[in-house]
Chain A
């Protein structure tokens, strides 16, 4: 099946640790994104990448890092510098020819313990 796969679904992190969330897509989309969702707030953009080996900061990039070594993969690392990392993280992708409709994965829950 075509789609966007995020893993793990649930992740627990101890304070001071870095963790990496995986995102893989087989839709042949050029652009990929990471959003953060907190209760009662809209989705906020962390990073996005339009092409391989290139990415741009979104609105809340501090404390996060990404890489885009392959078209289908866009992992997100939540570093110890992120002060409030507990949230629901969503990966997404789009193909410009589709009118820039962004499609989402199923999300990953990160909890700091």
Chain B
């Protein structure tokens, strides 16, 4: 069964229009949740790691938060260069070396 579900699949925003992406997970005993950014035809670029409920991390216009069942990636006042696919992944509770990835949310920011 799916361990990581991301929504929405696609998000179209106007420049400056803030929004949030959702990543829900079903693993118990979360050991780590990761956010990546992926540009078309490129490898994913690491953004954040979150380990416990209530934790928040920020980088420029991006802020990631974590609850016991989901994580949100908030994009504040996005710019066209924030257009990308954002991937969420959770660490396998029985194997630190394995990650389960969601299908991603493709964000398009129009000028």
Contacts and interface: CB of A to CB of B under 8 A. Distances in A.
Interface residues of A, number: 27
Contacts of B97: 31, 48, 50, 94, 100
Interface residues of B, number: 24
Contact of A99 (B49, B98, B102): B49
Given A99-B49, A104-B44, A43 B101 contact: yes
A90 B44 contact: yes
A106 B32 contact: no
Nearest to A9: B41
B34 A101 contact: yes
A107 B41 contact: yes
B27 interface: no
A40 B30 CA distance: 25
A104 B91 CA distance: 16
B42 A106 contact: yes
A102 B91 CA distance: 11
Contacts of B45: 104
Contacts of A106: 42-43
B101 A107 contact: no
Interface string B85-110: 00101010000111111111000000
13 contacts: A31-B97, A42-B4, A42-B103, A43-B44, A43-B99, A50-B97, A90-B43, A99-B32, A100-B91, A100-B96, A104-B46, A105-B43, A106-B43
The 9 tightest CB contacts between A and B, nearest first, are: A104-B43, A42-B101, A43-B101, A42-B103, A106-B43, A104-B44, A107-B43, A105-B43, A42-B102
Interface of A: 4, 6, 31, 40-45, 48, 50, 58, 88, 90, 92, 94, 96, 99-107, 109
Given A42-B104, A58-B98, A105-B43, 8 more contacts: A40-B103, A42-B100, A43-B44, A43-B87, A43-B99, A45-B99, A99-B32, A107-B41
